[in-house]
């Protein structure tokens, strides 16, 4: 398949990316370094996500990792790199800092902007920047031994690449505050109790297996329906009901698709698997 070939040719150094059927799988593969987020990671992840999105073949993206821990978060080398460029008066350094933070934030916003759902699958520790990544995913699943921590608070800084912006929309804010102010670890069971984690699995194999089953369920649905659903839910989380309803109607004006409905109904009648055409791909190629 085209998408798979394009991704293979990318030769990422921090990720392994594959696509089977309608499920794309991004694996953080620097287990020896606890998948810490080195400079290359911050450009490779959005590149992978946007490539998959633009191809339009995948209907779900799963992000998982290898080794004992999901990810140790921001690698110290990023801070070091940052420091090198920080010259000039304080105001100009501040202005550069602002733009740099926006650049880093954009890495995880790519997850949010992908047309297809993105699922995070977590084993072991998900620390600091890893929590920022997970907050940008649509859903999160984990092993029993998984734990999470908004580590930034404990190392003297305010978390700045997405956790504080997205968490209050994911879990009760009183709990989000305790976790963020203390920076303490919280485990899989606790995380599930307040809705941060959708489901907990016994171990890494069971986790990948379970997540792939959810992914399969989604991939069996029309990609137009699922993509519209993601756009609408994200919109509704940030707008009034009244604005969201009007936006929905405007969306539906063009996107209501009798063909997919007929495909679905035919499949249900014949107890077969529906075959939907893919989303349109390749829009960014127009640029060339």
Residues 38 to 57: which contact its own copies by CB under 8 A? 39, 43
In whole angstroms, what is the distance from residue 228 CA to residue 189 CA? 31
Question: Which listed residue (41, 166, 207, 210) binds its own copies by CB under 8 A?
Answer: 166
> Which one, 1 or 237, has the nearer CB to its own copies?
237
Does the footprint of its own copies cover residue 77 (CB under 8 A)?
A: no
259: three-class secondary structure by DSSP: helix
Piece of the chain touching its own copies by CB under 8 A; list 1-9, 11-19, 203-211, 259-267: 259-267
Does the footprint of its own copies cover residue 92 (CB under 8 A)?
A: yes
Does the footprint of its own copies cover residue 105 (CB under 8 A)?
A: yes
Piece of the chain touching its own copies by CB under 8 A; list 8-16, 23-31, 122-130, 236-244: 236-244
Residues 6+ apart with CB under 8 A from 224: 255, 257, 260, 276, 279
Does the footprint of its own copies cover residue 228 (CB under 8 A)?
A: yes
Q: State the residue for tokens 């089953």.
A: 213
Binding residues for its own copies, rule CB under 8 A, total 117
By C-alpha distance, which of 48, 56, 41, 39 is closest to 9?
48
In whole angstroms, what is the distance from residue 108 CA to residue 137 CA? 8
Give 176-211 as a 3 state SS string. HHHHHHHCCCEEHHHHHHCCCCCEEECCHHHHHHHH
Count other C-beta atoms under 10 Å from residue 204's C-beta: 21
Closest separation between CB of residue 167 and its own copies, Å? Answer: 7
x-or-dash string of contact with its own copies, 185-214, rule CB under 8 A: ---------xxxxx---------------x
Query: Within positions 109 to 148, which residues make up the interface with its own copies, using CB under 8 A?
Result: 109, 112, 117, 138-140
| Alpha-carbon distance values, 71 to 14, 47, 122 (Å) | 12, 19, 9
Closest separation between CB of residue 146 and its own copies, Å? Answer: 15
């Amino acid at each position: 398949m085209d998408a798979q070939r394009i991704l293979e040719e990318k030769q990422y150094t921090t990720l392994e990316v594959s696509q089977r059927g309608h499920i794309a799988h991004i694996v953080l593969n620097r287990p020896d370094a606890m998948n810490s987020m080195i400079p290359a990671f911050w450009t490779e992840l959005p590149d992978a996500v946007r490539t998959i999105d633009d191809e339009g073949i995948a209907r779900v993206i799963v992000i998982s990792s290898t080794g004992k821990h999901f990810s140790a978060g921001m690698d110290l080398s990023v801070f070091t790199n940052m420091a090198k460029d920080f010259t000039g008066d304080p105001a100009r350094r501040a202005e550069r800092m602002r733009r740099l933070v926006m650049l880093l934030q954009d890495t995880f916003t790519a997850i949010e902007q992908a047309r297809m759902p993105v699922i995070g699958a977590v084993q072991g520790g998900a620390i600091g920047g890893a929590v920022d990544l997970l907050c940008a995913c649509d859903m999160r699943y984990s092993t029993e031994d998984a734990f999470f921590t908004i580590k930034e608070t404990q190392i003297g800084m305010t978390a700045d690449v997405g956790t504080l912006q997205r968490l209050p929309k994911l879990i009760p804010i009183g709990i989000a505050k305790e976790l963020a102010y203390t920076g303490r670890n919280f485990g899989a069971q606790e995380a599930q109790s307040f809705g941060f984690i959708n489901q907990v699995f016994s171990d890494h194999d069971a986790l990948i297996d379970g997540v792939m089953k959810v992914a399969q369920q989604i991939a069996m649905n029309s990609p137009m329906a699922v993509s519209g659903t993601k756009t609408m839910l994200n919109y509704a989380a940030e707008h009034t009901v009244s604005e969201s309803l009007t936006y929905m109607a405007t969306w539906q004006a063009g996107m209501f698709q009798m063909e997919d409905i007929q495909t679905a109904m035919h499949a249900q009648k014949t107890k077969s698997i529906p075959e939907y055409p893919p989303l349109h791909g390749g829009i960014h190629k127009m640029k060339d």
